[in-house]
Every structure is written in C-alpha cells, then in structure tokens.
Chain A
C-alpha cells in the first residue's frame, strides 16, 4: 500500500510536468495555429542551458541556491529568446499556410535543436539535483494558464518558457539526455489531445491522468519503453472518443 502511495505521488508529479508541457503546446496551437512538435526539444535545449550554467559556469564557492537560481534564470531567459526568435525568423513567414505545413516546419526545428544539443553536450546522461520541489509544478500551471497570449510573438515566448519550466522541473526525476527530453513531446501531445488542443483545464487534467497511467504499470512491468505504449493507447482512445462522427469534423 505504501508502494502504491509512493507511485501515486511520482505519477502525479510526472503528470504535473506533462500538463505543463501540454499547456505550452495548446497555448501556441490556439494562438498561432502551429502544432509544435519541437516543444520537447525546445524545453530540452533550455534545460541544458540551465544545466550548463549550474555545472559549467557557476563558481564552486557560490552557495547552491545561487547557482540554482542563476541556472533557472538563464534557462528561462534563453527559452523566451528562442521563442521570440522562432516567431520572427520562421513562423511569421508562414502564417497563411496550412496547419500541416507549419507542423512539418516544427519537425525541422526539432531536428536542428536536437542535433545542436547532441553536438554541444554529446549523448551523455545528466542529472540535476533536487532543489526544485515538484509541487511547484501545480502552482506554476495556474499562474501560466491564465494569461493566454494574444500575439504570435507573446505566445511563442510564453510557450517556449513553459516548455523550459517543464524541462527543468522534470530533470530531478530522471537521468536525462538530449533525446529523452525531446521525446517528452509525445506525452505532452497526449495530454493536449485530451483537452482537444483547446481546453486548458482538460489539458491539465489529462496530464495528471496520463502521469498516473504511465506510472502504475511500472509496479509490475519493468520496462523502460512501456509508458510510451500507454501514451499511444491514450492518444488513440481519446481520438476515437472525441471524433465519433467521422467526417463531420474534418470537412473542410
């Protein structure tokens, strides 16, 4: 029973992070019509910037909290700048194109970010110490969820920030490398789909449900890949339930 409670807590924390990542996706999708497949990669890159500041550039005599603070600020500032850059350099020019084209562009962003990160930080496993309590995740959600950006630039900046927060928050739980954080995208997309890519409250709820669903099976099944299967099944189930009428939704 104690184990069960522990898994519940892990699941909920994980779920909070999924929700947060998903919120960024929904935010950008609703305001700019871009489904951002690079969301995980953007969070990953910002997280690595934070890691770099924490381990690479901070002075060993600084107190832990100062390094952490600087690292988090650096990660967030970088995330905001990256969001703005993407809006002005890329997505501003494709505003009138079909949603699918924009989504494919984000795949280009994903590939570029992913390789740039693996170029800089190699394919090693990293770990950030626990200074950030996972509970903060839930608080941040309500803070970020309300002010939905009005302009593409703002929403890209916010979305990127949210991705960075999610990335930084998840790192105490896992040994992370460049790919595993990029792949957070699938869980975030699953949560976002539960909210229909529109509803923020449902997205948050979806994130938590997904977190629990992915955690409980690990009590019995020792498999690193199994949670991916859970995410896929959730996506399929949501799409079948949400789209019962066939064409009606798709009719252009």
Chain B
C-alpha cells in the first residue's frame, strides 16, 4: 500500500536545478533509503515533502491527501515528522521542553488557557512532560532532560532530534543524516533503534545518509539521486553493485583502498609545545563533561582526537578556543596563558577553531566570507590563496554560503582559516555529513596545512583517515583521555584503540560488539511499548520501583502486568 507518492518533483533555485522530475513511492511500513553525492538534491526533496519549500512542479500524495498546498504544520498533523541535517533544536529550551512542544502543538492547545495556567492546560502539560521523559528514557537521553538543548554537543543533539520527531507520534519519519557524527558502534545501535521504532510504532521512514553501512543495513529499498535526477533504485544489495551508482557516489573511495597507505612518518624535533593543556575541566550547566585533560600540540604537528560520541572531544576544543569557560586547569598557547581569554582574542593569537557546523554565515557570499578575514586580521588580506587551495570556490565566489553543499561549505571554512595565517587550526568533525570523495580531498588539505607548518588539532569520526594523516592521537573516553601516542602505533595496534572505541570499517564484529556491549544503551523493545501508551506518572514510578526490586527491565514488568489484565 503506497503511503507517500511523489511525482515529477522539480525545484529550481535561480539557474540551478536542484531537483529534476523526481518520482518516488514509499509503502506503509517501509524504510526507504535516499542516497547520492553531496548536492544531489536529497535535502531539497525532504524540504518539499515536509512543506518547507514549494516545488516548481510536481505532486505529493500522503495517505491519499494531496500535499501541494498544505503548510508544514498541516503535514505534521497528517503524521509527517522530520529531523534536520543542520540541527534545528530549540536551543534555549531544555531537552524535555523540546519534546513537549510538538506534542502540545498537535494537541491544539489554547494560548489563553495556557497563559492563565488553567487546570486543563496544566493537566495536558503534565501528561506531555511524562511522555517526553519516557521517550528520553527509551533513547537513553534521560540525564540530559533538564539541560538546554543548545548546550549539548552535536552528537547528542542529533539523538534529541530523533526523540523530538518521535514525540509527534509520526506515521512517516524523514531522517536527514541521522548517523552523521556517530561512530560505528553507535551507528549499529541506531540501525537497531530504527528497526525497533518501525516495529513498535508502525512508522515508515525515509532515510538520507552518507553512511552506507546504515543505509544497507536498515533500508528495504534505496533510491539514488545524482544532480537532482533519479539515477537508480532497487534493493540495497543491487544498488551496492550497480556500476552507475559506484561511479557517481563511491567511485573514488575504491581507488583509495589500492592507493596511498600511510606515508608520513613523523620525525619532529622536540620543540616546545605550541598548545599545552593541563588538567582541564569543562562542562555545561550542571554537567561536567571533561576533566583532567592533558594535551599538547607542537608547532607544525597534526594531532587527532578520537573517541566515541559524547566522550568530550568537542567540549575540549570549545574550552581551548574560549567558546566556553574552562572550570579548572590551564590552557597555554604560544607560551602564553590564555585560560578564560575571549574567543576573539585567542583567534587573533593564531588559534583558529572551525566548529561543528563550520560557523559560517549563510547569507554572505563566498567572497565576502573570505574577505571578512581582513577584519580579524586588522589589515587587508589577499584572498587568492584560498582559491588556489580550492579552485572550486573561485567558480562559486558570488554564491551565498548557505546555498553551497556541505563539502563546499567546509572548503570555505578551511579557506577562511588559512587566510588568517594561523599557527594552529582546530577542526571539529570535519568530514561530518560529507561524501567519501569530498572527505578524501579535505584530508589532502590537512597535509597541505602541515607542509606549510600549520599545526592541526583534529576531531574526527573517520578514525582510519584521521590516523593516516595525524602524527599523534589522543583517544577520549567518558570525558578524559584514555590513550595517547604516535598515530602509527595506534593504527598498527587496532585492538588497543578498539578497547574504548571501534573503527569506521563496519563489519560483523562491530555489530556484534554493539549488541553485546550495550552499556545501558540497549534498546528495550518492551519499554518502547510503554512509550506509545499514556501511563500516569504514579503507575510508571511504581513500575520502575518494582523492576528495580526484581532486577528486570521496566518494560518486561509492564508487559507482564498488561498480559495479566488482558487475561482477566
């Protein structure tokens, strides 16, 4: 039974054709994959389906309703929920509140009764909050319930986005790169979660992701887009071996396997460190995310920070660059104590931080973005070096940054960094959400940085590539540094790393590890059932107490009780 029927979808932005006559069918209960290189139009298609932009041509039917003129919130009422590639959580609200908003919005609540705190509103409010907590519990996000969403690292925000979408009780879930920034183990767990969600909530899904392992494992059927056109469609296995798809999407990746192996053997003289971090601790609100961080980067050295999501890598970078205040410890840069100095001042000293999401202004053109460097530098800066590094940017110099693909945006960020003549560049999740070919290109740029004597501190999910390019690496685990050493050694001794972390090469062992080593993350399918029913808080608390006493999952206890009721 067709749930979503998209016909002949065409979208043009100025002269660029983002989507060119794409048609797509999604059956009820199906998980449909949508893949393609960067800029292929996947997100544009999502935007059309969720009503964020109006197509130039084409029709969309959802469960028999035509959606062409339906505004986004009406589509949400029909049961279409989505997540965003460039996270769109409501940053000034807590995670729990983020989940409550869609529930209330769909419940047609009354503004005035809300403002007066009438009993009706208060009751609905409590019920929503209960359900939000249940969903957070299922996704193992409970401990963030009271944290402001904007303060969380991107990896966790991504999970909150999924939680928020589920809070709408959707019938169709549009997932835009849910695995971006997740490590292999977490990706495996996400795949499992998506299956569980489909089983329990009867949710169909449309999934965009670059992580082929996720797409292959989760999807029943895959559509491939390239340059706004439908390139191929079929079973995942068939797609994987389709030569057209390989050429368009995976082409260069296969070359990489034959090609370069580690070439750089670092023999750096023992210079005084450029960046030295001692006993650093930092966090957000009531949460201390990292502690006892000792880390050093010498001039011209490439250092990688690796580790599972939420291990504290991003927070460490933020504390170093002054985006957040370190709670304890010291940060020395170029022999100067910069602990607690403003981010702008630190940048002027030559420490450039490219944050997750790249920190660009979407409404500025490429050229203007690069020119802004002159402001920080305080003198006129020639922007041609950036174009020499990334010739592609020269063609797009007049285009607004917001309209570039993710890879091109990262190029702009890197180009901007090099123009400010830095001594150290910190790059957070450089390859997040990018196609493999682009990622490879970016890693080559890192090598260029090193040749020019610029030190690089890298946070990266593609461990293999990161260790390839890096001189040394630090392995983070649970907010502190577990391991450190020359990259060559870490790469050679994979097991050493795997103790706290699993490489990107997704294979059966990773999946097995994900299933076995759940450390509390494990999705309890029975518990998902609870989430879909509205249970009063008292009952739930009683359930949890009983589960604790009996040492069983709450869900199991609940199911048992429900069965008893059924029997009576």
CB distance from B52 to the nearest CB of A (A): 5
A-chain residues with CB within 8 Å of residue B362 when the two chains form the complex: 251-252
Q: What is the number of contacts between chain A and chain B, taking CB atoms within 8 Å?
A: 44
B509 on the A face (CB < 8 A): no
**Secondary structure call for the B interface:** loop
A99 and B372 contacting across the interface, CB-CB below 8 Å: no
In the complex, what distance in Å separates the CA atom of A150 from the CA atom of B368?
Answer: 9
C-beta contact mask, A140-157 vs B, less than 8 Å → 1, else 0? 000000000011100000
Looking at A2-10, A27-35, A124-132, the stretch in contact with chain B turns out to be: A27-35
Answer whether residue A223 sits at the interface, using C-beta atoms and an 8 A cutoff.
no
Which residues in B have their C-beta under 8 angstroms from that of A150?
371, 374, 380
Partner of A99, one of B52, B363, B376: B363
Interchain CA distance A245-B372 in the complex, whole Å: 29
Most buried by A among B53, B88, B365: B53
Whether a CB of chain A sits under 8 angstroms from the CB of B213 is no
Q: When chains A and B are docked, how far (Å) is the Cα of A31 from the Cα of B380?
A: 13
Residues of B near A251 (CB, < 8 A) are: 47, 52, 362, 402
Residues of chain A within 8 A (CB-CB) of B86 are: 252
Interface residues of A in 18-32 (CB under 8 A from B): 30-32
Cα–Cα, bound, A245→B13 (Å) = 10
Which of the listed residues B86, B371, B380, B402 has the most CB atoms from chain A within 10 Å of its own CB?
B371
Contact of A246 among B13, B53, B363 (CB under 8 A): B53
Q: A31-B368, A245-B54, A252-B402 are in contact. List 12 more A-B contacts (CB 8 A).
A: A31-B371, A33-B361, A33-B364, A95-B376, A99-B361, A150-B374, A246-B54, A248-B13, A248-B53, A251-B402, A252-B86, A252-B362
Report the contact-size class of chain A (Cβ under 8 Å from the partner): 10 to 19
Alpha-carbon gap, A150 to B13, bound state (A): 28
Who on chain A is nearest to B88 by CB?
A: A252
A248 lies within 8 A of B374 (CB): no
The complex places the Cα of A33 from the Cα of B361 at a distance, in Å, of 10
Q: Which residues of A contact B111 (CB under 8 A)?
A: none
Report the separation of the CA atoms of residues A248 and B363 in the bound assembly, to the nearest whole angstrom.
12
What are 8 A-B contacts defined by CB distance under 8 Å? A30-B368, A99-B361, A150-B380, A152-B375, A246-B54, A248-B47, A251-B362, A252-B362
Q: Is A220 an interface residue (CB 8 A)?
A: no
Q: Contact: B53 with A247, CB < 8 Å?
A: yes
- Chain B interface bracket (under 10, 10 to 19, 20 to 34, 35 or more): 20 to 34
Cα A252 to Cα B403 with chains together (Å): 10
Is B344's CB within 8 Å of the partner chain A?
yes
Chain B residues near A95 (CB, 8 Å)?
Answer: 372, 375-376
Q: Are A247 and B52 in contact (CB under 8 A)?
A: yes
Q: Which of B317-374 contact A (CB under 8 A)?
A: 344, 361-365, 368, 371-372, 374
Q: Are A152 and B364 in contact (CB under 8 A)?
A: no
Shortest Cβ distance from B55 into A: residue: A245
CA distance A195 to B368 in the complex (A): 17
A151–B374 CB distance below 8 A: yes
Q: In the bound complex, how far is the Cα of B47 from the Cα of A32, in angstroms? A: 31
Q: When A30-B368, A99-B363, A251-B402 are in contact, do A152 and B54 touch as well, CB less than 8 Å?
A: no
CB of B479 to closest CB in A, whole Å: 28
Q: How far is the CB of A149 from chain B (nearest CB, A)?
A: 10
**How close is B101's CB to chain A, nearest CB, in angstroms?**
18
Q: Mark contacts of A83-115 with chain B using CB atoms, 8 A cut-off: 1 yes-contact digit, 0 otherwise.
A: 000000000100110010000000000000000
**Inter-subunit contact A92/B375 (CB<8 Å):** yes
A151 touches B53 (CB 8 A): no
Nearest chain A CB to B68 CB, angstrom units? 14
Q: Within the assembled complex, what's the spacing in Å between the Cα atoms of A246 and B54?
A: 8
Query: Cβ of B375 and Cβ of A151 under 8 Å apart?
Result: yes
Min CB gap B40→A, angstroms: 17
- Min Cβ gap A84→B in Å is 14
Considering only residues 37-94 of chain B, those with a C-beta below 8 Å from chain A are 47, 52-54, 86, 88
Closest Cβ of chain A to B58, distance in Å, is 15
A30 to B374, CA, bound (A): 14
Interface code A20-62, partner B: CB below 8 Å = 1, 0 otherwise? 0000000000111100000000000000000000000000000
| Smallest CB gap from B84: residue in A | A251
Chain A residues contacting B376 (CB-CB under 8 Å) are 95
Residues on B with C-beta less than 8 A from A151 are: 374-375, 379-380
